[in-house]
Copies of this chain bind each other. A is one copy, B any other.
């Protein structure tokens, strides 16, 4: 089976994560961040980096997992409205809002996560599929019937990183406006005719 990891490997992994986090927090554009940059910033060889994370996508995913882990737990078994136990409409709205907040707090990292690199699209990512499944179920509970799956995709498309980024950059939207806008869209989808 898998043997325990050596201490220097664990230390390096943490160093790299910290350095990459810092870089993504300050970078102007995520696409311009090369693996050499990350390795240099972490004071580590490129081989080490790839040994620890497998690929560029793996590193980004690891960072993203770190940042979204609290939200994931809150949704899975936290208190309402994020956690289970509320009216599905309210929960959907809460989840979407929380997603927007996380994405705004990690703007460039989120852009990098959603960038299609290699053959893998956003829609193949386990996290996406998890949220999509959850939203689908909630929409079904809310009486959205057979369109639930598609509607879940549409709701998630409304909070895609590049769209948010565009709304901030080109339209100058504020955080408040974005959250309100997404809430309005969700409300329309949730409470429109047919519900």
Interface residues of A (CB under 8 A from B): 29, 31, 115-116, 119, 121-124, 147, 149-151, 153-154, 157-158, 160, 162-163, 165-167, 170-171, 181, 184-185, 188-189, 191-194
Contact = CB atoms under 8 A, between A and B. Distances in A.
A193 B191 CA distance: 7
Given A31-B119, A154-B158, A162-B121, A188 B193 contact: yes
Nearest to A154: B158
B194 A150 contact: no
A29 B120 CA distance: 11
A188 B181 contact: no
A123 to B, nearest CB: 4
Given A115-B116, A147-B181, A185-B151, A162 B122 contact: yes
B170 A123 contact: yes
A190 B166 CA distance: 24
Contacts of A185: 147, 150-151, 154
A115 B166 CA distance: 15
Contact of A192 (B116, B150, B188): B188
Nearest to A155: B154
A188 B191 contact: no
A109 to B, nearest CB: 15
Contacts of A194: 188
Contacts of A115: 116
24 contacts: A31-B119, A115-B116, A116-B162, A121-B165, A121-B166, A122-B162, A123-B162, A123-B166, A123-B170, A124-B166, A124-B170, A147-B181, A147-B184, A147-B185, A147-B188, A151-B185, A151-B188, A154-B157, A154-B158, A157-B157, A157-B160, A188-B188, A188-B192, A189-B192
Nearest 3 CB-CB pairs, A to B?
Answer: A192-B192, A157-B157, A123-B166
